[in-house]
Chains A and B, each alone.
Chain A
């Protein structure tokens, strides 16, 4: 876990965001094509389909194989806010040895945008994660291949309260303070999560919303805390900030994968961590992660900073602006009536 906590109100463009933008489609295609070619050369398990040729031309004629096409189209729909550079944004950990038989499998992946800007008209966004499995030997036969993508928003301290009937009124009584719960959590897989990753591995790599919630205060006993944590997850799911997207990762030919993770409009600012886990027979064999900064820009940012850094000036500005707006509008309509 690195760089926790929202970097609110502070300009912090990472090196990655400064890189010259390049069309997502082209990058996706280049990366995927190169990898597939490499994989095909290195391993007999890689499919001998003509896919790489077709993805390499993002605006070309429809190829026979549907999956790579979807990849190229998806990345090239031209709505991306920011492109990346020539190399993958993800840092593959590469810490885990491959399965007992076969060679190592590693993740090579990238995103279509490496930061999200909250502008005045912000209405949600989407992160498109794409990549490939790089193999140094033949494809291992130890169980199904799983690709799990998680996107975790900056943690928040949340108080969960439960209403109780007191003298006929429903009022808040018991509460549980959750020290840190992600403000956003999406988990996308290429199949049922339970079949792709074992419970122990989920615990070890903190895959799953329950593995991301930490509570210290309030009700000490776990049994009593459980309904509060359930409620937190339920309410956050209803708000659309916690989502389990089983089957949202498209995996083709056990090599190429891509996933779309929708971001709601009510995003909290901060660093979002994107993590990809590659699993084989329930065991995590590789993981990669990167950070996507989500920040307000322009006027939105200026207002937020003023409100938090110089609250008195902000308060006065709010009053003056409100008074002016009210007065101008009233004068305008009075003139109109004449």
Chain B
């Protein structure tokens, strides 16, 4: 059964879309990440133009995180004050990322920007996660090591401190603003939710308690992704609503399977698996930049031109 995507102007099999959404849903159910970092490259592989992939995945992220946010709010897993600070940073970052994206798109380097960002970020996060979880595995065999409750580094010497009650933090407003902005840039240029950057940054950089990390990051991601969707819709008319809805439907089914699979596996092994997956996508994209491509030429249809 084929469906014609009105914005991408192409006809795609419905089951391919549902499957793709489902695969990403399985991932998000298993690992608790959005899976946007897989979805954008996969859509591009399917032949969806890169700008439409990025914009549509931003829209898909809104839908896939909204129910999570609601659930987290009910569980009091959202630090709203932190969420708002991150959101302000995120919106500024998304606007900045958008300008960068548009500029490079005009220069014909959007694909390079997208690939390079993926390689750099996935590479960094993947290796960090791998090292971290391997260490944790070794440590859990040796027995627990006590961590210092408060470390006083550069972050604690910055001005404009704010008390984040839910997180039990009294820190400067700048680190969360910067973290939010960084993620905002990523949403705009990579079409990802940015959870895979946000969560480690919240844990290791801001030292937030784990119980509010997921909820707060989801809260910020939902709104930043919504903002980005509107920016893409206005700037390049590249949000494909039909595509996003089919991806979401597939994703909802996949998430159910993923949650069950995830519940059966030990957390440490899951993290190693996720780290390896992230690294695999990174290497695949990296090779594409280094190895001489079969086809040196590419076409870009100038729409509305």
Give A residues with C-beta under 8 Å from B: 118-124, 156-165, 168-172, 175, 183, 227-228, 231-232, 234-236, 265-269, 296, 299-301, 303-304, 307-308, 311-312, 314-319, 321-327, 329-333, 337
Contacts and interface: CB of A to CB of B under 8 A. Distances in A.
Given A307-B233, A315-B234, A322-B248, A121 B2 contact: yes
Contacts of A118: 4
Given A119-B4, A172-B111, A329-B67, 11 more contacts: A121-B1, A157-B302, A168-B290, A170-B289, A170-B290, A265-B2, A307-B241, A311-B233, A318-B229, A322-B244, A327-B70
B297 A162 contact: yes
Interface size class on chain B is 35 or more
Contact of B297 (A120, A183, A228, A312): A228
14 contacts: A122-B4, A123-B11, A158-B299, A163-B293, A236-B299, A300-B4, A314-B233, A314-B239, A318-B229, A321-B63, A322-B245, A323-B66, A324-B63, A330-B68
A319 B225 CA distance: 9
A330 B299 contact: no
Contacts of B252: 325-326, 329-330, 332-333
Interface of B: 1-4, 6-7, 9-11, 59-60, 62-68, 70, 108-109, 111-112, 226, 229-234, 237, 239, 241-242, 244-245, 248-249, 251-253, 255-256, 289-293, 295-302, 304-305
Given A121-B1, A319-B230, A303 B6 contact: yes
B283 to A, nearest CB: 15
Contact of A165 (B231, B237, B292, B299): B292
B63 A323 contact: yes
A120 B289 CA distance: 36
A327 B64 CA distance: 8
B212 to A, nearest CB: 21
A40 B239 CA distance: 59
A330 B297 contact: no
A327 B67 contact: yes
A235 B62 contact: no
Contacts of B292: 165, 170
A172 B108 contact: yes
B64 A315 contact: no
B245 A120 contact: no
A269 to B, nearest CB: 8
Nearest to B64: A326
B236 to A, nearest CB: 9
Contacts of B231: 315
B242 to A, nearest CB: 7
Contacts of A331: 67
B4 A121 contact: yes
Contact of B4 (A235, A265, A319, A337): A265
A172 B109 contact: yes
Contacts of B297: 160-163, 227-228, 231-232, 234-235
B11 A122 contact: yes
Contacts of A318: 59, 229, 233, 239, 241, 244
A191 B305 CA distance: 37
A121 B11 CA distance: 8
Contacts of B244: 318, 321-322
A118 B1 CA distance: 15
Contacts of B7: 303-304, 307
Nearest to B62: A322
Contact of A156 (B111, B242, B289, B302): B302
Contacts of B299: 158-161, 232, 235-236
Contact of A171 (B109, B245, B300): B109
Contacts of A119: 4
